[in-house]
Chains A and B, each alone.
Chain A
């Protein structure tokens, strides 16, 4: 952990609000990103990220400095998002705030970028088919490079359960991805035939 962060955590544990605000400043992006990947829209993500920091603030005295702070924080965030999923049926994804790749006419890798941009949207849509815990495991593993142990600790699962959930999730995502590609190919072919 970086030196100033360790200092801020120690101060926050003694009740220094300003020190905790600095932690909010530093960790807002990863927490918000996780919430966005979990919940799928900017408003819910903002709300969940705020709530995560409120919960962390209340529990900061119980934080064990031997653990990585970001892991502890993201665990709070993912558990909150899983709860939100369980409480209400969340709507499907909105792409209003999805980052669009910078594509100009003289960009050499334009095709690849366009495909990548489309694929990003597809991945977000794909995540929606997973149940909240699998989804959280996939996000922590592939967006945040968490180890199996870290995911197991975060989601209160055994190491083998994490592995099997990830294996199942990968298969589900890949089959859905293939189906989506097949659908879009069929659609394009029909369009081309109609034009001819």
Chain B
């Protein structure tokens, strides 16, 4: 009996609360909300760009350090002191750059001589293939970047 009375009391009390809720006004933001939102979006974009730039710099720095480390490890057994090892690393690094330049030159000369060996229709097909591959590659990279942006 007492339990039933309590249930009924709570039910009628709830109706009073519900009436109050239904009669309360919607509370809007202060004027200029959209402009403040635009500014905030712009700030977040800047922060994101800065973050991506730092990631790019970081990846390059780490790659350079790894290459230098490998060269250093390869060169270290031959050198007697740290300074000698450092000089050795720099020397190998400059040699590597020279080799890369030479390789570039060789590839360049091949590109200059090869066109005559194949008919022009072949070259057209090869170039079109590369263009398609490049397009596919860039769109994939773009998708990955967009997905990362959304998930953050």
Smallest CB-CB separation from A139: which chain B residue?
Answer: B21
Whether the Cβ atoms of B14 and A36 lie closer than 8 Å is: no
In the assembled complex, B38 has its CB within 8 A of some CB on chain A: yes
Cα-based distance from A25 to B29 in the complex (angstroms):
11
Residues from chain B with a CB closer than 8 A to the CB of A21 are: 34, 37-38
Instruction: Tell me the chain A residues, 52-92 only, with Cβ under 8 Å from chain B.
Output: 53-54, 57-59, 61-62
Proximity bits, A98-138, B CB within 8 Å = 1, else 0? 01000000000000000010011011001000000000000
Smallest CB-CB separation from A115: which chain B residue?
Answer: B20
Whether the Cβ atoms of A28 and B17 lie closer than 8 Å is: no
Q: How many residues of A contact B (CB 8 A)?
A: 39
Residues from chain A with a CB closer than 8 A to the CB of B16 are: 119, 177
In the assembled complex, B150 has its CB within 8 A of some CB on chain A: yes
Contacts A25-B34, A32-B27, A50-B36; A142 near B41 (Cβ below 8 A): no
Instruction: Tell me the chain A residues, 1-58 only, with Cβ under 8 Å from chain B.
Output: 21, 24-25, 28-30, 32-33, 36-37, 42, 45-46, 49-50, 53-54, 57-58
Q: How many A-B residue pairs have CB under 8 A?
A: 93
Interface residues on chain B, size class:
20 to 34
Whether the Cβ atoms of B17 and A173 lie closer than 8 Å is: yes
Sorted nearest first, the 6 A-B pairs with minimum C-beta distance are: A174-B13, A174-B10, A29-B28, A119-B20, A32-B29, A174-B14
Given pairs A28-B34, A58-B149, A122-B20, 17 additional interface contacts (CB within 8 A): A24-B37, A29-B28, A45-B29, A46-B30, A46-B36, A50-B37, A54-B37, A58-B152, A61-B146, A99-B24, A116-B23, A119-B17, A120-B23, A126-B17, A173-B14, A174-B10, A178-B13
